[in-house]
Amino acid sequence: MEYNTQQRKLPLPEYGRSVQNMVDYALTIEDRAERQRCANTIINIMGSMFPYLRDANDNNHKLWDHLAIMADFKLDIDYPVEVVKKESLEIKPERIPYSQHNIRFRHYGRFIQDIIQIAADYPEGEERKQLIKLIANHMKKDYQAWNKDGVEDQKIFEDLNEMSKGKIELTENDMRLNEQRNFPRRRQMNNNNQQKKKY
């Protein structure tokens, strides 16, 4: 018995080995008209496996591309569409530069760090106060997601002061942050409910 792991690697494994075997067979057909009919049949089978590719507006373009790839671009037929070139598949995409910004408090994230700078330069008034309150509450939520033991409001205010370079100074007398609720896991809740039913 021959296992799939012992056979050659499939170029497009999503179609399976049976479809790949059909493509391999089509490559051996000498009569061009018969080879064309075989290719059309394979496309119909591939289309029934992935209807969203078959019904696309681009005239089964992706299916024909996939057939060419599975045949290693050696299938000599009249393609109804211009298929992808082998060379274009071998071109590596350009490397996307990764931003190398240092984040002092990683558990708060880059977004909070950026928005604190905006709030720090915001003109004094009720809007600035509300913005800072929203930021501080969000920081508390982020902190508790990172540290399940909880956090004192004063710790959030100290971090906020440091991240704003001293432009935002708060104490527990200035603002009280929302209490973050820790919900028990579903399994624990179900176990508690079952224990209550027993008594």
Q: Is the pTM of this model over 0.75?
A: no
pLDDT, block means (10 residues), the chain with 199 residues: 74 92 94 94 91 73 92 92 86 77 77 88 90 91 82 88 89 80 53 55
Question: Residues 1-27, buried b or exposed e (16+ Cβ, 10 A)?
Answer: eeeeeeeeeeeeeebeeebbebbeebe
Distance between CA atoms of 140 and 83, rounded to whole angstroms?
A: 54
Which residues neighbour 13 within 8 Å (Cβ) at sequence distance 6 or greater?
A: none
State the distance between the two ends of the chain, measured CA to CA, in whole angstroms: 58
What are the start-end ranges of the H helices in the chain?
16-28, 32-49, 51-54, 61-70, 86-90, 109-120, 126-146, 153-163, 186-198
The ranges assigned to domains in the chain are 9-89, 100-182
- 35 neighbors 76 (Cβ within 8 angstroms): yes
What is the predicted pLDDT for the residue at 54?
76
- 117 neighbors 164 (Cβ within 8 angstroms): yes
Q: What is the CA radius of gyration of the chain?
A: 31
What is the predicted pLDDT for the residue at 59?
57
